[in-house]
């Protein structure tokens, strides 16, 4: 069993991190810890006083560096929070509410598939579907005498037919997952090239070529995997909270998307993705 402990880590609240809608494979245990499967590892995260204890089963990578990368521990969120808090009282309030949020750096392949599944779907069901996909196509890994399943590799998931995927409850997203998997498998779409592009716009333009990836899903991939903090995913919640706070349109569903993007860009100073996540968590926890 691997173990890694950090002390006095700023901005690290388990609930805030794992339940702010950015990830789907973490589950709360009875003792308050969370267990999740990332890359080739099962990881348990527990908070005790001023310590955060990571334990797990990690076969192929250095445990410590995997943790530090995934949780982005070399980024200081205090600076983000300070800047955003100065913008207005709403930002200050939402940051106090979700003070322990960190944006994770999740595996690109898994994030692409996960957020294609997220389209017109709800978080509990997204989690269930991803779990089923992992059980059926991913490798088994054990931890504390229990079985877990890694998210399937590109090759593993490419074995699934459209019908296989439909049988897992994917609904109309079956073909999208199939097509995107094949595009990535045969290098028609190159994940490594994507990572090397030097700005968010170019990356987004590239991601939009994938079946099932539209503006919102692309922004989620950019923010939750590639850590492009200027990406601003607009879903029903973000649209709602932005309208409530800044636009005051009678019908929030009619708020223009371009207008929203421009507002976020001007207001949040290149940190719109971070701001978005505090606002999303705040609104959704209080009203969801």
Partner DNA sequence: ATCCAGGGACGCG
Partner DNA sequence: CGCGTCCATGGA
- Residue of the chain from 16, 25, 105, 176 that contacts DNA (CB under 7 A): 176
CA distances from 95 to 66, 90, 102 (A): 27, 9, 11
Q: Pick between residue 81 and residue 143 the one whose CB is nearest to DNA.
A: 81
Site string for DNA, 220-239 (x = CB under 7 A): x------------xxxxxx-
Residue 20 sits in the site that holds DNA (CB under 7 A)? yes
Return the structure tokens found at 162. 């459209």
Q: Pick between residue 150 and residue 218 the one whose CB is nearest to DNA.
A: 218
* Beta-strand relationship, 146-149 and 26-28: unpaired
Q: 278: closest CA among 227, 242, 236, 225?
A: 242
Give the containing element (helix H, strand E) for 113: helix 108-117
Residue 166 sits in the site that holds DNA (CB under 7 A)? yes
Q: Pick between residue 146 and residue 254 the one whose CB is nearest to DNA.
A: 254
Q: Are 232 and 221 in contact (CB under 8 A)?
A: no
Q: Pick between residue 125 and residue 187 the one whose CB is nearest to DNA.
A: 125
The packing angle between helices 215-224 and 272-287, to 10°, is: 100
Q: Taking phi first (over 0 means left), then psi (-120 to 50 degrees means alpha), and beta for anything else, what does residue 161 get? A: beta
How many Å apart are CA 243 and CA 249, to the nearest integer?
6
- Residue of the chain from 13, 100, 215, 263 that contacts DNA (CB under 7 A): 215
Site string for DNA, 30-69 (x = CB under 7 A): ----------------------------------------
- Residue of the chain from 214, 265, 270, 286 that contacts DNA (CB under 7 A): 214
Site for DNA in 66-125 (CB under 7 A): 118-125
Return the structure tokens found at 241. 């909270």
**CB of 30: closest distance to DNA in angstroms?**
20
Q: Are 20 and 83 in contact (CB under 8 A)?
A: no
**Choices 15-23, 29-37, 50-58, 182-190; region in contact with DNA by CB under 7 A:** 15-23
Q: Pick between residue 87 and residue 234 the one whose CB is nearest to DNA.
A: 234
Residue 178 sits in the site that holds DNA (CB under 7 A)? no
Q: 189: closest CA among 227, 221, 166?
A: 221
Residue 217 sits in the site that holds DNA (CB under 7 A)? yes
**Choices 42-50, 52-60, 73-81, 211-219; region in contact with DNA by CB under 7 A:** 211-219
How many Å apart are CA 67 and CA 74, to the nearest integer?
11
Q: Report the SS3 class of residue 91.
A: helix
Residues that bind DNA (CB under 7 A): 20-22, 118-126, 166, 169, 171-172, 176, 208, 210-218, 220, 233-238, 256, 258, 276-277, 280, 284, 288
């Amino acid at each position: 069993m691997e173990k890694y402990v950090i002390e006095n880590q700023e901005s690290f609240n388990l609930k805030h991190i794992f339940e702010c809608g950015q990830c789907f494979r973490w589950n709360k245990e009875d003792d308050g810890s969370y267990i999740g499967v990332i890359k080739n590892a099962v990881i348990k995260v527990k908070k005790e006083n001023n310590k955060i204890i990571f334990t797990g089963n990690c076969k192929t990578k250095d445990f410590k560096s995997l943790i530090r990368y995934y949780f982005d521990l070399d980024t200081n969120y205090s600076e983000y929070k300070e800047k955003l808090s100065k913008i207005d009282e709403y930002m200050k309030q939402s940051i106090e509410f979700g003070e322990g949020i960190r944006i994770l750096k999740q595996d690109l392949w898994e994030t692409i598939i996960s957020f294609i599944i997220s389209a017109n779907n709800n978080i509990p069901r997204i989690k269930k579907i991803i779990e089923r996909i992992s059980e059926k196509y991913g490798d088994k890994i054990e931890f504390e005498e229990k079985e877990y399943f890694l998210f399937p590799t590109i090759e593993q998931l490419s074995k699934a037919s459209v019908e296989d995927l439909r049988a897992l409850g994917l609904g109309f997203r079956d073909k999208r997952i199939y097509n995107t998997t094949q595009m990535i498998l045969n290098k028609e779409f190159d994940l490594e090239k994507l990572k090397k592009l030097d700005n968010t716009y170019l990356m987004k333009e590239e991601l939009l070529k994938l079946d099932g990836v539209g503006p919102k899903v692309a922004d989620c991939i950019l923010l939750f995997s590639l850590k492009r903090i200027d990406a601003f995913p607009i879903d029903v919640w973000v649209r709602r909270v932005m309208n409530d706070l800044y636009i005051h349109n009678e019908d929030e569903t009619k708020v223009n998307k371009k207008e929203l993007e421009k507002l976020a860009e001007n207001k949040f100073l290149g940190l719109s993705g971070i701001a978005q996540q505090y606002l999303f968590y705040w609104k959704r926890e209080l009203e969801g």
